[in-house]
Amino acid sequence: MDPLTWAMLALMVAGTGASAVAQHKTNKERGKVMEEERLRRTAQQKQSEAAAQNTAETYGKTREQEAARAAELATGGAKIAAPVATPQGQKFLGLEAPQSSTLMVEGLKDANARAQAQESAHHAALGKLSAFGDVMLGNNLTAGRNAQDIGQQAGFTQGWQQNVLPALLQKANMAGRDWATAGDVMKLAAAIMSPWALAKGTGANVVNQGINANVGAADVGAGAAGGSAFDPWAFAKMIKHNAKFGVP
């Protein structure tokens, strides 16, 4: 075989190889970009899940917190001031004159104790009611803050996908560009030299002659004129002819 034919074949093989390397490099770079994106998204998703989990746990503790808050409110209720002993007698809350009568003093003490007990019970009952609202307010504020964190993470992911990811993919697409260009150049060179390489090569002439013989000289054109180049039209006609007459 002619050296030119060898050179053409070598260029074609090298060009194809370069294209494969180019594709491989591009795929590899794109893969790296997508892996980074996946890791970033996973990390942000984990943070969002942690925030959501915190919200769920906060609401899950509502009952305990409500009980604790109710107890806090109950103990924080107002207290009746104890009577103050004065030389004139016992001075009770709201009474300007001290009480000296034992009957009155004891009666007022008992009455104060009853009042304190009743009002403390009333206050505790009210505290139990308002404790739920207080705790839920705290829960809602925590949930709002966590929702904000989740939104921020989503914003970061979105920002990355909109602002950075396209540029990174564009860069990755260029990763095999050198090899692809080299492959294109080699294929172009092979294509340019192919008429001469195939014309000089024995095998090419044999092939063309065989084709032209099968199809008929009158139909073959360039192939019939000297068989100097491979004629795809002639080749197609040969295939058709063989199929029509059952030639293997």
Partner 1 sequence: MSFGDGGAGKEAKRARQEEEARQLRIKEGTTTIRRNFGNTFNDSYYAGLMDAVKKAYMPDVQQQFKVASRNLRAALLRAGLGSSSTAIRREGTELPKAQLRAENEVTQRGIGFQNQRKQDVAYAENTALNQLNQTADSQAAFANAAAAIKANYDAPAMPMLGQVFTDLSAGLATQADLERYGQAKYNVWGRIPGWTARNTYSRNVPGG
Residues that bind partner 1 (CB under 8 A): 76-80, 92-97, 101, 103-104, 107-112, 114-116, 118-119, 122-123, 126, 130, 133-134, 137, 141, 144-145, 148, 151-152, 155-156, 159-160, 163-164, 167-168, 170-171, 173-174, 177-178, 181-182
CA distance 230 to 116: 115
From CA 125, how far away is CA 122, in angstroms rounded? 5
Q: What DSSP element (H or E) covers 85?
A: strand 84-86
Q: How many helices (H) and strands (E) does the chain have?
A: 9, 2
* Nearer of residues 28 and 145 to partner 1, judged by Cβ: 145
Separation between Cα atoms, residue 8 and residue 201, nearest integer Å: 11
Residue 151: CB minimum distance to partner 1, A:
7
Closest to partner 1 by CB, 68 vs 167, is 167
- Cβ atoms of 198 and 230 within 8 Å: the answer is yes
Instruction: Pick between residue 149 and residue 219 the one whose CB is nearest to partner 1.
Output: 149
> Nearest distance from residue 205's CB to partner 1, in Å?
37
How far is residue 84's CA from residue 97's CA, in Å, rounded to a whole number?
11
Give bridge partners of residue 85 from the DSSP assignment: 90
Residue nearer to partner 1 on the CB measure, 23 or 228: 23
C-beta closer to partner 1: residue 107 or 203? 107
Q: Nearest approach, Cβ of 165 to partner 1 (angstroms)?
A: 9
Give the CA dihedral 99, 104, 107, 110, nearest 10 degrees: 10
Nearer to partner 1, 152 or 228 (CB): 152
Q: Is 42 helix (H, G, I), strand (E, B) or coil?
A: helix
Task: For the CB of residue 223, give the shortest distance to partner 1 in the complex, in Å.
Answer: 39
Q: What are phi and psi of 92, to 5 degrees?
A: -100, 160
CB of 132 to partner 1, least distance (A): 12
Q: Kindly state the smallest distance separating residue 31's Cβ from partner 1, in Å.
A: 16
